[in-house]
Amino acid sequence: MARTASGTEVLEQAQRALREARTVEELRQAQAVVLPLLLGASIEQTASVLGVSKGWACQLRRRFIAAGHLVQRASRVEPPHALLRRAEEAALLAPFIEPARNGQIVMVTEVRAALDARVGRRTAASTVYNLLHRHGWRKGVPDKRHPQSDQAAQAEWKKNSATRLPKSAATGRKAVRSG
């Protein structure tokens, strides 16, 4: 037999929270308390109605009951492993903004060198691309040639190479079947 739902002491606050909820998260938290107490719904049924997992429905209930009111989840603005804060990243990119506005190409290698100097260690190229993406930058101009290529040698090869490869000669004979 299933356990009876706890939290009758906060039922009134949960019903008030249902009426005053401003976000979906607040509504779900209040419903996680009210549904089992008023309707006798199991935790599986409550989770199904809320559209969350059974464990998450339990967690929503426990948070509300422990506090006696809606509990906001702490939102992280910065990831714990970030090299720089968003404002510091913007300051790092500031010297590159004006040349980009004037039509100059901003090289990722230059941004990477500035980032490496700022954090005091070598960073991966993907870190720089992610940083640029976070701040709304995109790769606008692809490289047209390899930096170590020899333009004169390529032009000479184009002049002296055969324009068309010779085709194989057709035999002109038809296949004969026996039979």
23 CB neighbour count, 10 Å cutoff: 10
Summarize pLDDT for 89-102 with one digit per residue, the tens. Answer: 999 999 998 888 78
Start and end residues for every CATH 1.10.10 domain found in the chain: 8-67
Mean pLDDT of 6-14: 80
How many other C-beta atoms are found inside a 10 Å radius of the C-beta of residue 88? Answer: 13
Identify which of 4-13, 64-73, 106-115, 154-163 has the greatest average pLDDT. 106-115
Q: Write the CB contacts of 37 (distance below 8 Å, at least 6 apart in sequence).
A: 5, 7, 8, 11, 14
pLDDT score of 84 more than 60: yes
CATH number of the structural domain 8-67: 1.10.10
pTM (2 decimals)? Answer: 0.41
- In angstroms, rounded to a whole number, what is the distance separating the alpha carbons of residues 51 and 70? 19
Q: Which is nearest to 92 in space by CA: 123, 52, 53?
A: 123
